[in-house]
Amino acid sequence: MPEISRFFGIIIRMYFNDHVPPHFHADYGEHSIEITIETLEVWKGKLPNRVLGLVLEWASLHRDELRADWERARKKQPLESIQPLE
């Protein structure tokens, strides 16, 4: 699964040809979560609250880029890296 961003120990990934709804995966240590791109709702998993807040902040800033990477992933095209949260 390609990594598209990394910040503060959080790794953001997206699978090629993954199931709908459009979403991304975030991993932090032993914690893992899937978040929908359109609504930024937790689809599956759990992160510590502070980490979840950082992921949601990042995603809200980069939603268009996440949508574009989702379309690339569905077409099995290379994904673009997305600027980390600073």
Instruction: From first to last of the 86 residues of the chain, give the pLDDT tens digit.
Output: 799 999 999 999 999 978 899 999 999 999 999 999 999 999 999 999 999 999 999 999 999 999 999 999 999 999 999 999 98
Contact present, 74 and 55 (Cβ < 8 Å) = no
Residue 14 lies in a domain: yes
Q: What is the pLDDT of residue 17?
A: 78
Domain enclosing residue 65, as ranges: 3-41+59-74
- Number of Cβ within 10 Å of residue 29's Cβ equals 11
- For residue 79 the two structure tokens come to 């994904």
Q: How many domains does the chain have?
A: 1
Place of tokens 């992921």: 55
- For residue 20 the two structure tokens come to 């709908």
Sheet strands (E) in the chain: 3-7, 10-13, 23-28, 31-36, 42-46
| Beta strands at 10-13 and 23-28: parallel, antiparallel or unpaired | antiparallel
Residue 83 lies in a domain: no
Q: What is the pLDDT of residue 30?
A: 97
Q: What is the pLDDT of residue 19?
A: 86
